[in-house]
Structures are given as C-alpha cells and as structure tokens.
Amino acid sequence: MRAVVTVIGKDTVGILAKVSTKCAELNANVEEVTQSVLQELFAMIMVVDISKLKGDFAQLSDSLTALGEELGVKVHVMHEDIFNCMHHI
C-alpha cells in the first residue's frame, strides 16, 4: 500500500529533508522521489510505502499538510489508488 506525497510551491532549502523526516517519524518508507520544475511550478513527488504506518492515514496526511503550511508550500497526501484508477485501464 502506497501513498503519493506531492509538494508544490516555491523552492526553499531543506524541503525534501523536512518532508522525509516527518515520513520517517510516522514510519512511512520513502520509495521514490522525483523533483522537477513543471509548468512553472516547483514540484516534488514522493511515493511512500504506508503499509507499516504508525497511526492512520489521516495522521500522516494532517501532519504533512501542517508541515507544508509551515514551509509555505502546498502538500497533498493521496492514496496511490486514485492515480491508478484514473490513468490506467
């Protein structure tokens, strides 16, 4: 079971470190990271394994969203299923 964490906004120092630290705290294992400037947006996308998550999905989502607010970037945490269903037959 995996979740996709996206961070969109203005680049600042240490975003990746802070987001992955938070993931580690909640035992979400980072499997993949893509970082690029796309359509004039700085975008970082992390795929994290959530099968051994400490706490529930809402906790991961809430704490990463709160971290995003602190850093002035927009963070979304979504289950991989929504992307798979929408873009694969």
Q: Which residues bind other proteins (CB under 8 A)?
A: 4, 6, 8, 34, 36, 38-39, 43, 45, 47, 57-58, 61, 76-87, 89
Least distance from C-beta 21 to other proteins, angstroms?
Answer: 22
Instruction: Enter the tokens of residue 63.
Output: 């704490």
Least distance from C-beta 74 to other proteins, angstroms?
Answer: 8
The answer to whether 26 and 63 are in contact (CB under 8 A) is yes
Which C-beta is closer to other proteins: that of 21 or that of 34?
Answer: 34
How many CA atoms lie less than 13 Å away from 22 in the CB half-sphere? Answer: 21
The answer to whether 26 and 55 are in contact (CB under 8 A) is yes
Least distance from C-beta 19 to other proteins, angstroms?
Answer: 15
